[in-house]
Amino acid sequence: MKTLYIIIISIIVTYSPLAAQDYWQQEVDYKINVALNDSLHTLDADIEIVYTNNSPDELSFIYFHLWPNAYKTETTALCEQMLMQGNTDLYMATEEERGNISEIDFKGDNKTLKWEFDPENIDIAKVFLNKPLKSGDKITITTPFKVKIPSSDFSRLGHSKQSYQITQWYPKPAVYDAKGWHQMPYLNTGEFYSEYGTYDVAITLPKNYILGATGDMVNGEKENQWLDSISEQTKLIESFDDDDLDFPASSKETKTLVFHQEKVHDFAWFADKRYHVLREEIELENGHKVLMQAMFTNQEADIWMQSLKYLEQATRFYSDFVGNYPYNHVTAVQGALSAGAGMEYPNITIIGISGDKYILEETIMHEVGHNWFYGLLGFNEREHPWMDEGINSFVQNMYMAKYHSDLAISELYFGSNTDIMRLNEIDEMYINYISNRVIASYNLDQACGLHSAKYTEANYGVSVYQKTSMVMDYLQLYLGKEEFSRIFKGFYEQWKYKHPQPDDFVAYFEKESGKDLSWFIDGLINSKDRVDYKISSVDTQGDSTIVTIKNKGKIYAPVYINAVDDGGVSITKKWVDGFDGKKQIALPKGEYHNIKINSGYSFMDYNPGNNHYQKDKLLPKSKKLKFKFITTLPKADEQYIYYTPVLGWNNYNKFMLGFAIFNHSLMEKKWEYELMPLYSFKQQTINGSFGLHRNLYFHKGVQRLSIGVVGKKYEYNTYNGDGKDLSYLKISPEITAYFAGKLFDGGSSGFSPPFYMSSIGGKQDYMYDYTYLDRSQQGGAIAHQMTPTDGGFYLPSAIGRSRNMILAANLRTPIPFINVVKLYGNLGYTFGNKYGRYDNKAMAEAGVLLTFFNRTFEVYFPLLWTQNFQDVMDLRPDYKYSDNIRFTLRMDLMDPFKYKKEFNL
């Protein structure tokens, strides 16, 4: 029996998660020699990598990242991502602007290694080892390499003339961990994951360049003296010439600077001959001395003069809030940057153009903070971006609360204490809350814990940065600031210089707090479900006040109850663990004026309007009704009716004056309405429009469904035999379904052909869907207004009509460096027509267009067209080229109600 027990216990221990193998990670040490050619914008380099296999596995190959190749062609993952985000810069780039890495010749322990590009990504290589690398063994891999530095207009690696941002520039092994290989193409949206090691890098460049880099300068006494002298000179400058950004000639002499840094997982450097320099040394609470450095040009130099203050505040704050900074310098450099406002690397960060001292401060401190969240805690940024960007944004909010709690958003970013839209009342946490609420109101939000490649561009900012920061603050409030701080610092000490995963983070917090945090990781991080509690009722029973709370959501997050007196002073405060359904909470009997649950933006309650109960009111759960001009940022206990005066004009009603009342705001509501009466002084009639919509939301398939009724009334002229003006009144049901951005709609007429190859004018708009300056098209320039629908051709012509079917393709392409001018081409074919000899044919046109105000106003100049168009033109004896010039004035796109309904991310 004893033997049986031993066997059972052995099996349990063997297969228990607690008996999993000890944590391990690979070590990769680098020696790099690199020379900058600032005439050709190239790097000539060689690299020696000592790869230590600390895994329990034998490795027969190693994946390498060759990320400069991300800039090589228009088919790379980077280029494809940029195209998906509407950025064609890299796709349209010239060969001179592109970049690459070449002259690779991998050798392992001095023997040639076979290697190949990844079949999908030319910035990933698979290097085959001549013999398996056993657990505990090392291999030395060497190769020369040459980098053609791309333009800085695309992403992080680049140059702007002779200003250099050298990042993600060398052959780098991918991470191999307990989950296997993590090879990944370079992207803008979606950052990195690399192995820790030691870097020794020698950089050769013209002598008059100022260089900022990862690591400590080795034997750099002379260079440091030069930088100190520039720093002293910079401090004496009273004003800077923002327009003086010329580059001095490069020195004929070169210098070689050597940098050494241990326990980091990347190396970046930045060089510019125009830099001003500021340097100061500080001492942290633990006695460790850290050099603060700032390097910047004349551009925005006035606000950069305070950059050492921001560097020091950030370094001290993170050291106190998270754990002590272990490296010897913190550097911020100004430079060209196309992927965000700033970008972090070990010891050093690059900052783009800020425009404001507070934005510069916030960007510097955020990027300095990444020395902890990505640098010292080596999260997998590509797979778990919430762990570095989200947690760092949470600490950033704590920093801003400490140093700028007395300043509202209006003062921080607009320079005045304006009360417009309540900007003088809100802080950064409210901005986080409202950004997430707006996207969630359209059912377009995403979970915090997704892979970076799965986010829309907007959600990468809102869900990863802002929403995660609120989730972290929720956790801090629940645990209490002191307890949270103890656990947070302990996690840092246990996991610094390692690669913690989400499970490691949650397991540590659960172990230390003794609490179940499934609501945190499964609910708020890994799902897009919402926290949504409401107060159902408040009753008095004996010596207790019974608060009945209902969970309307799917997340069982803890609930915070705060009962206050008529002065707003808390009488009773209490945390209640999360629950499903309803729960009754007993509070001591008291003179409560208002009982609130989850009152605060960090609680992320989806419907905070039902989170209060005012005992002394006839309708204790009601919200205050407020009338506001145009819009405002909402409060939880208020509901709004918005108003604005309206002016209108068309060729028939002439000048119209009226007003609009509506409940639309940035956040979509279940019920939305608008009423816009307009008085025509010429016709002496009431015109205008109205709408009422019910918005429905779904988790799968259709994202949202809008059902409603819309109506509008205006006059127009037409030839009808008695010479009278007519008016139209359109009242119609409206159903709009959104399927991943595609709109399905329908409509037809029994009298006119339902499909036109040409875009329609006022006469053809038989459904009165669009607004025209001259609906009857009776002549003059305004009669050339049209709306691109159906076939989308711009030439005005009767050909190309069909009751059966038309096919059309519409193409437009920008002209480099001229944003308002584009080339266009349209192809089409009609089927099954009985409207004349010109219809059953293929047709095409091409020309030039001018576009303004995000395509609201465009003018089209056709240059080429097929013969069937010309045949129709030849039938008109008075034909002239100007008849073909048409324009669109999409006043429907200027309608804020319609624009909001078409909101997409």
**25-45 pLDDT tens trace:** 999 999 999 999 999 999 999
CB 142 within 8 A of CB 134: no
CB 316 within 8 A of CB 373: no
Rounded to an integer, the average pLDDT of 704-712 is: 73
Question: Which positions ≥6 away from 221 have C-beta within 8 Å?
Answer: none
> How far is 493 from 496, CA to CA, in rounded Å?
6
Retrieve residue 6's tokens.
């031993």
- The model's confidence at residue 701, banded by pLDDT at 50, 70 and 90, is low
What CATH number matches the domain at 533-616, 2.40.160, 2.40.128, 1.20.120, 2.60.40? 2.60.40
Rounded to an integer, the average pLDDT of 336-365 is: 91
> How far is 682 from 308, CA to CA, in rounded Å?
66
- The model's confidence at residue 168, banded by pLDDT at 50, 70 and 90, is very high
Judge whether residue 251 has pLDDT over 90.
yes
CB neighbourhood size of 670 (10 A): 10
Judge whether residue 776 has pLDDT over 60.
no
Q: Are strands 269-272 and 254-264 parallel, antiparallel or unpaired?
A: unpaired
Residue 513: burial class (beta carbons within 10 Å; 0-12, 13-18, 19+): middle
Retrieve residue 491's tokens.
């996690």
Q: Using alpha carbons, select from 634, 541, 520, 615 the residue that is nearest to residue 584.
A: 541
**Single-letter code of the amino acid located at 469:** S
> How far is 110 from 569, CA to CA, in rounded Å?
75
Judge whether residue 831 has pLDDT over 90.
no
Q: Using alpha carbons, select from 775, 777, 761 the residue that is nearest to residue 730.
A: 775
User: By percentage, how much of the chain surpasses pLDDT 90?
Assistant: 60
Retrieve residue 867's tokens.
């013969």
> How far is 891 from 674, CA to CA, in rounded Å?
17
Rounded to an integer, the average pLDDT of 442-450 is: 93
Retrieve residue 49's tokens.
């990598």
Judge whether residue 738 has pLDDT over 90.
no
Task: Give me the residue spans of the domains in the chain.
Answer: 26-195, 405-525, 533-616, 623-745, 754-896
Give the range among 403-417, 616-630, 639-653 with minimum mean pLDDT: 403-417
Question: Which positions ≥6 away from 155 have C-beta within 8 Å?
Answer: 70, 71, 78, 90, 186, 188, 338, 339
Retrieve residue 384's tokens.
């778990």
**Single-letter code of the amino acid located at 602:** S
Ordered DSSP codes for 422-444: GTTT--HHHHHHHHHHHHHHTT-
Judge whether residue 8 has pLDDT over 60.
no
Q: Using alpha carbons, select from 329, 365, 376, 323 the residue that is nearest to residue 348.
A: 329
Rounded to an integer, the average pLDDT of 228-232 is: 98
- The model's confidence at residue 770, banded by pLDDT at 50, 70 and 90, is low
Judge whether residue 231 has pLDDT over 80.
yes
Question: Which positions ≥6 away from 165 have C-beta within 8 Å?
Answer: 152, 156, 157, 158, 159, 270, 335, 336, 337, 350
> How far is 603 from 433, CA to CA, in rounded Å?
9
Convert the pLDDT of each residue in 788-817 to its tens digit: 777 888 888 777 777 667 788 888 887 766
Assigned fold of 26-195: Immunoglobulin-like (2.60.40)
Judge whether residue 839 has pLDDT over 50.
no
Which run of H or E residues covers position 173? strand 172-173
- The model's confidence at residue 603, banded by pLDDT at 50, 70 and 90, is confident
- Mean of the per-residue pLDDT values for the chain? 86
User: By percentage, how much of the chain surpasses pLDDT 70?
Assistant: 85
Angle between helices 468-479 and 502-513 (to 10 degrees): 20
Which run of H or E residues covers position 706? strand 704-716
Diameter of the chain by CA atoms? 111
Judge whether residue 570 has pLDDT over 60.
yes
> How far is 351 from 346, CA to CA, in rounded Å?
14
Judge whether residue 62 has pLDDT over 90.
yes
Q: In what order do the strands lie in the sheet with 582-588?
A: 533-541, 544-551, 582-588
Question: Which positions ≥6 away from 378 have C-beta within 8 Å?
Answer: 193, 194, 196, 265, 497, 498, 499, 500
Beta bridge partners of 572: 563
Rounded to an integer, the average pLDDT of 320-329 is: 98
Number of H helices, E strands in the chain: 18, 46
Convert the pLDDT of each residue in 491-518 to its tens digit: 999 999 999 999 999 999 999 999 999 9
In this predicted structure, what is the pLDDT of residue 834?
47
Convert the pLDDT of each residue in 466-489 to its tens digit: 999 999 999 999 999 999 999 999
Give the range among 20-34, 43-57, 138-152, 180-194 with minimum mean pLDDT: 20-34
- Write down the H helix ranges in 524-570: none
* Better pLDDT: 376 or 707: 376
Which run of H or E residues covers position 892? helix 891-894
Output the CA–CA distances (angstroms, integers) from residue 373 to 98, 164, 189, 697, 876, in the order listed: 31, 25, 17, 36, 72
Question: Which positions ≥6 away from 905 have C-beta within 8 Å?
Answer: 439, 442, 444, 456, 457, 458, 459
pTM attached to this predicted model: 0.81
> How far is 442 from 667, CA to CA, in rounded Å?
8
Output the CA–CA distances (angstroms, integers) from residue 802 to 60, 112, 867, 871, in the order listed: 64, 68, 19, 19
Judge whether residue 248 has pLDDT over 90.
yes
In this predicted structure, what is the pLDDT of residue 3?
39
* Better pLDDT: 635 or 412: 635
Judge whether residue 191 has pLDDT over 50.
yes
Handedness of CA 198, 200, 203, 209 (dihedral sign): positive
Q: Are the folds of 26-195 and 533-616 the same?
A: yes
Distance in Å from the first CA to the final CA of the chain: 65
Count how many Cα atoms sit within 13 Å of the Cα of residue 764 in the half-sphere of its side chain: 21
Give the range among 376-390, 582-596, 705-719 with minimum mean pLDDT: 705-719
Rounded to an integer, the average pLDDT of 583-612 is: 89
> How far is 899 from 902, CA to CA, in rounded Å?
5
Convert the pLDDT of each residue in 110-164 to its tens digit: 999 999 999 999 999 999 999 999 999 999 999 999 999 999 999 999 999 999 9
Output the CA–CA distances (angstroms, integers) from residue 183 to 356, 382, 496, 541, in the order listed: 38, 11, 23, 63
b (16+ CB within 10 A) / e for 602-627: bbbbbebbbbbbbeeeeeebebeeee
Ordered DSSP codes for 201-234: EEEEEETT-EEEESSEEET-HHHHHHHHHHHHHH
In this predicted structure, what is the pLDDT of residue 719?
40
- How remote is the C-alpha of 629 from its chain's centroid? 30
Beta strands per DSSP E along 346-410: 348-351
In this predicted structure, what is the pLDDT of residue 4?
36
